[in-house]
Amino acid sequence: MKELEILSKNLKSLRKEYGYTQSDIAEALGITYQSYQAYELGITTPTLKNFIKIAEFFDVSLDFLIGKKRNLNK
């Protein structure tokens, strides 16, 4: 599943770009560190609710998270 690989890569890249730890993101999303770590490792996919929270947290579109585009306004 290519989208899952892209999602995990983009999550890790965004987190590092903004200087957050996996624990920081998990806390902001209200989930466990292990759950967020599984998203970055491509083991599981976020629920729709968490997928939206992640996009809002990083101010990117859902499309960008799966490799389509970067900004919400584009």
Q: What is the pLDDT of residue 65?
A: 93
Q: Does the residue 70 lie in any domain?
A: no
Q: Does the residue 73 lie in any domain?
A: no
Q: Does the residue 10 lie in any domain?
A: yes
As for how many domains the chain has, the answer is 1
Q: What is the pLDDT of residue 69?
A: 67
Q: What is the pLDDT of residue 71?
A: 53
pLDDT digit of tens for each residue in the chain (74 aa)?
A: 688 899 999 999 999 999 999 999 999 999 999 999 999 999 999 999 999 999 999 999 999 999 886 555 54
Q: What is the pLDDT of residue 74?
A: 45
Please give the Cα distance from 26 to 63 (Å, whole number).
21
Please give the Cα distance from 1 to 29 (Å, whole number).
24
Give 65's DSSP letter.
H
Instruction: Tell me the CATH number at 36.
Output: 1.10.260.40
Range of the domain at 35: 2-65
Q: Does the residue 71 lie in any domain?
A: no
Please give the Cα distance from 30 to 39 (Å, whole number).
14
